[in-house]
């Protein structure tokens, strides 16, 4: 895809293709972009497949700008839980951030096997978090601060 121009507004990132067509993605659909400062949003880099915000750990694939978005399970999950790091989940299951973003956005269809791997990775993070115990010293410090 030949991208001629990229620009940001208060609510979206826009692209213009070489044929003059313009497309946008709304920040509201991407929690990391939604809650980012203007400075953080403006700090992006462009690669052949899309736009990446290193500081925010967010990717938007150019192909995703062209397709009507159909909300899927993963999209809703990451929208409802912005504390989940999609890039870290992608790394856990051996996917590139761009490919994972395409699954979340609905640009690529997810096989039942791949979806199961993704959900298992998310559950594993939850289990790891619930298994955390604080040393007694930390508990005492926390109690003192109340």
- The CATH number assigned to the domain holding 109 equals 3.30.2020.40
The whole domain housing 110 covers 3-145
Burial class (CB in 10 A: 0-12, 13-18, 19+), 125: middle
How confident is the model over 23-38, as a mean pLDDT?
A: 89
Q: Report which listed range, 31-35, 39-43, 84-88, 90-94, is most confident.
A: 39-43
Quote the tokens at residue 21.
Answer: 């067509």
- Which pLDDT value is given to residue 146? 60
42 pLDDT band (50/70/90 cuts)? very high
Edge-first strand order for the sheet with 58-61 is: 45-46, 50-53, 58-61
pLDDT digits (tens, 9 = 90+) for 103-146: 887 777 888 898 888 889 999 998 998 998 877 766 666 666 66
Q: Which of 7, 66, 69, 12 is nearest to 36 (CA)?
A: 12
Q: How far apart are CA 20 and CA 111, in angstroms?
A: 35
Number of domains the chain contains:
1
């Amino acid at each position: 895809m030949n991208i001629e121009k990229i620009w940001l507004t208060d609510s979206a990132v826009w692209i213009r293709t070489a044929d003059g067509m313009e497309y946008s993605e709304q920040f509201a659909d991407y929690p990391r972009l939604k809650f980012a400062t203007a400075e953080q949003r403006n700090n992006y880099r462009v690669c052949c497949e899309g736009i990446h915000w290193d500081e925010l750990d967010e990717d938007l694939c150019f192909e995703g700008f062209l397709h009507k978005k159909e909300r899927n399970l993963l999209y809703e999950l990451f929208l409802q839980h912005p504390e989940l790091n999609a890039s870290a989940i992608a790394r856990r299951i051996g996917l590139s951030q761009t490919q994972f973003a395409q699954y979340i956005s609905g640009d690529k269809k997810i096989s039942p096997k791949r979806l199961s791997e993704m959900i298992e990775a998310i559950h594993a993070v939850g289990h790891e978090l619930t298994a955390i115990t604080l040393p007694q010293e930390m508990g005492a410090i926390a109690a003192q601060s109340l």
